[in-house]
């Protein structure tokens, strides 16, 4: 099993550009989520999904969109990148929100 | 208000010392789950423990132990006889049963010096 995979590992964007961070899991987990990690802030929940076709907002959803068309995939879209979105992004999956979260390796995003 | 507070931003100890990382949480749910994760310098997140709100028994796993006290809303983590490989950022986290969200504390960076 590959577990949770994320692509790309690194990305540099210019302000105003859009992009999609990819996340996939092969553990048949219903729950998937996106976090951003900033120095001194821990990990903050951006969006989450409890199953295909169901998504909801976390603590810091502004500027990000998600969709969940399959159990396996949960992409995160930045519509118009801003320097404040410079961060490390982690995708996670689990059987439920209160189970152990399995994390991907992270994507380091820089917005200039 | 913060759901999970880790007041210790950074701790430095010398190898073989014991160290306790504090975690205080806030919730109105009667059913909830607490977690600890480790993030070594390589950056990945490693699961350490999950505890539900109905199980207040302390847990020991090798050099690691956890003290859960509902009365003080704390879930502290102790490393006995610390080693250099324990150097990492440690996160405490909370998940409430009636909500589908996971809350992390801001983390405690542990430096273990030889």
Q: How confident is the model at residue B1 (pLDDT cuts 50, 70, 90)?
A: low
Choosing among B90, B100, B103, B105, which should be mutated to test the A contact, i.e. which has the most A CBs within 10 A? B100
Whole-number pLDDT of residue B7: 95
Q: How confident is the model at residue A97 (pLDDT cuts 50, 70, 90)?
A: confident
DSSP string, B29-71: -SSEEEEEEEE-TT---EEEEEEETT----EEETTEEEEEEGG
Q: What is the pLDDT of residues B42-78, one digit of tens each?
A: 999 999 999 999 988 888 999 999 999 999 999 999 9
CA dihedral B32, A33, B5, B45 (to 10 degrees): 110
Whole-number pLDDT of residue A73: 98
Contact status of B30 with chain A (Cβ, < 8 Å): no
**CA pair distance B10, B7, nearest whole angstrom:** 9
Q: Do B101 and A103 touch (CB under 8 A)?
A: no
């Amino acid at each position: 099993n590959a577990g949770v995979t994320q692509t790309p590992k690194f990305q540099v964007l210019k302000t105003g550009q859009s992009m999609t961070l990819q996340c996939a899991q092969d553990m048949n987990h219903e729950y998937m989520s996106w976090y951003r990690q900033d120095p001194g802030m821990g990990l903050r929940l951006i969006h989450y999904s409890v199953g295909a076709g169901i998504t909801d907002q976390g603590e810091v959803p502004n500027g990000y969109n998600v969709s969940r068309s399959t159990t396996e995939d949960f992409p995160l879209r930045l519509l118009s990148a801003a320097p404040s979105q410079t961060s490390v992004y982690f995708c996670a999956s689990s059987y439920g929100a209160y189970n152990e979260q399995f994390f991907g390796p992270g994507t380091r995003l820089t917005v200039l | 208000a913060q759901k999970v507070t880790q007041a210790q931003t950074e701790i430095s100890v010398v190898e073989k010392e014991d160290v306790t990382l504090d975690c205080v949480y806030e919730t109105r749910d009667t059913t909830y789950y607490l977690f600890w994760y480790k993030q070594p310098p390589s950056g990945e997140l490693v699961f350490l423990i999950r505890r539900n709100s109905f199980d207040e028994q302390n847990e020991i796993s090798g050099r690691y132990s956890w003290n859960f006290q509902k009365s003080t809303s704390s879930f502290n983590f102790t490393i006995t006889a610390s080693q250099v490989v324990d150097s990492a950022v440690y996160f405490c986290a909370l998940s409430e049963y009636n909500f589908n969200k996971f809350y992390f504390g801001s983390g405690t960076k542990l430096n273990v010096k030889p």
